[in-house]
Copies of this chain bind each other. A is one copy, B any other.
Amino acid sequence: MTDIHTLTRKLQRKNDSKIILYVGDGLGGLPLEPGGKTELETANTPNLDALAARSSLGMSVPVLPGIAPGSGPGHLGLFGYDPLQYDIGRGVLEALGIDFELGPNDVAIRGNYCTIDGEGNITDRRAGRIASEIGEKLCEKLDTIKIPGVEVFVHHVKEYRLVIVFRAEGLGGNVDDTDPQKTGVPPLAPKGNDTASEKTAEVCAEFLRQAAEVLKDDAPANLLTMRGIAKMPPIPTFEEVYGTRAAAIAVYPMYRGLARLVGMDILDAGQTLDDQMKCLEQNWDNYDFFFVHFKYTDSTGEDGNFDAKVQRTEELDSAIPRMTVLKPDVLVVTGDHSTPAKMKAHSGHAVPTLLASDICRFDGSTTFGEAACRIGELGQFEAKYLMLQVLAHAGRLEKYGA
């Protein structure tokens, strides 16, 4: 089978079109009862509804039918990278999200401070969710750890979360998590699954040995667990595969990290949707493609708060006029996955998707919601194909074949 990017490298055409990919994280939802409406269908979204009338709608399948993706595969799919082909470790995502520039000799690790008792058993996997100020100070202490032949970087992320990077030639990225996912037991020993990763596991073990010493008086954060121990896979950039100058406007680190992974420039998004819109306006002339990320449709879904997700969906809607006034050639509104409040989790349900462009086959929709998307012009499609539609509707793809 031809790879999507083999095709886009060959067919890409440059023009001065402007594209916005507006991602409502976890946008898809569920009705609470048979016959009911989803969060998106319940929300009052006059701007999205007006946009639907000049759009094609459809349903995006993030990975494969039924498969609930994490944020990594969810976004890679939307960016046109087959999420089953590109497997991005959690450590890599976290490192990218704090602007750490990972190189080919780097192994990145997501760390969680935890609490251990006198016997070495974990009593709290998140160290009482310590404040960020404390987490930051402890990271400074850990950053003094020395391991012969290995450069060690320790960076704080937020509260009990940190990133550790080991830099040395020959370190593998296939080491199991040390977080046992439960309390009352000690952390697992680092275990490498190939020769190079056994070497990494030894480095992890030495780091953890020294960390136990460094943190011994810092309860509740008197140790850490390691998760998502991974190297960055080789991944081609947006510029290479699509010929676009792309920028990300995302408030949360993880999503900036994902955008950086595919070579997008990371803009200063500020803290609010209003900040993000200002950023979009200010940078409108400098890029062809803008990825705008809105987190709260996911977090309210994860909380199981249907009404809050409805409200956040209305907030998502409120930014639409500030985008349409810029007259993008293509404006897509979609999600990286569904996060139904009913399930309090990412789910494998397909994701409502809207693509507005002057050359859409308008499908007569008058509202943006799951029921309308189910019968929309774009049909049900794997997320990895969305970028082909985006580029096509932006006039950025040549004809295939004579």
Point out residues on A near B: beta carbons under 8 Å. Answer: 1-2, 4, 7, 11, 30-31, 33-36, 38, 53-54, 59, 63-73, 82-85, 87-90, 93, 228, 340, 342-343, 345-350, 359-364, 370-371, 374-381, 385-386, 388-393, 397, 399-402
Q: How far is the CB of A27 from chain B (nearest CB, A)?
A: 13
Q: How far is the CB of A207 from chain B (nearest CB, A)?
A: 21
Q: How far is the CA of A345 from the CA of B397 in the complex (A)?
A: 12
Residues of chain B contacted by A359 (CB below 8 angstroms): 30, 340, 342-343, 347
Q: How far is the CA of A64 from the CA of B381 in the complex (A)?
A: 10
Q: Are A66 and B393 CB-contacts (below 8 A) given A342-B359, A359-B340, A370-B361?
A: yes
List 15 A-B residue pairs with CB atoms under 8 Å apart, sorted by A's residue number.
A1-B1, A1-B82, A34-B362, A35-B364, A59-B379, A66-B390, A66-B391, A67-B392, A68-B397, A70-B402, A83-B401, A346-B399, A349-B377, A363-B371, A379-B380
Q: How far is the CB of A271 from chain B (nearest CB, A)?
A: 24
Q: How far is the CB of A126 from chain B (nearest CB, A)?
A: 17
Q: Dominant SS at the A interface?
A: loop
Q: How far is the CB of A339 from chain B (nearest CB, A)?
A: 11
- Determine which residue in A11, A89, A348, A364 has the highest number of CB atoms from chain B within 10 A of its CB, and name it: A348
Per assembly, the copies of the chain total: 2
Residues of chain B contacted by A54 (CB below 8 angstroms): 34
Q: How far is the CB of A256 from chain B (nearest CB, A)?
A: 15
- Determine which residue in A7, A350, A361, A401 has the highest number of CB atoms from chain B within 10 A of its CB, and name it: A401
Q: How far is the CB of A143 from chain B (nearest CB, A)?
A: 24
Residues of chain B contacted by A33 (CB below 8 angstroms): 362
Q: Are A379 and B350 CB-contacts (below 8 A) given A7-B67, A53-B35?
A: yes
Contact B401 A69 (CB under 8 A): yes
Q: Are A374 and B363 CB-contacts (below 8 A) given A7-B64, A69-B399, A388-B348?
A: yes
Q: How far is the CA of A11 from the CA of B374 in the complex (A)?
A: 27
Residues of chain B contacted by A66 (CB below 8 angstroms): 385, 388-393, 397
Residues of chain B contacted by A371 (CB below 8 angstroms): 363-364
Q: How far is the CA of A143 from the CA of B64 in the complex (A)?
A: 49
Contact of A63 among B53, B72, B347, B400 (CB under 8 A): B400
9 extra interchain contacts, Cβ-Cβ under 8 A, other than A68-B400, A70-B400? A7-B84, A34-B54, A34-B362, A35-B53, A65-B388, A69-B400, A71-B402, A90-B402, A346-B399
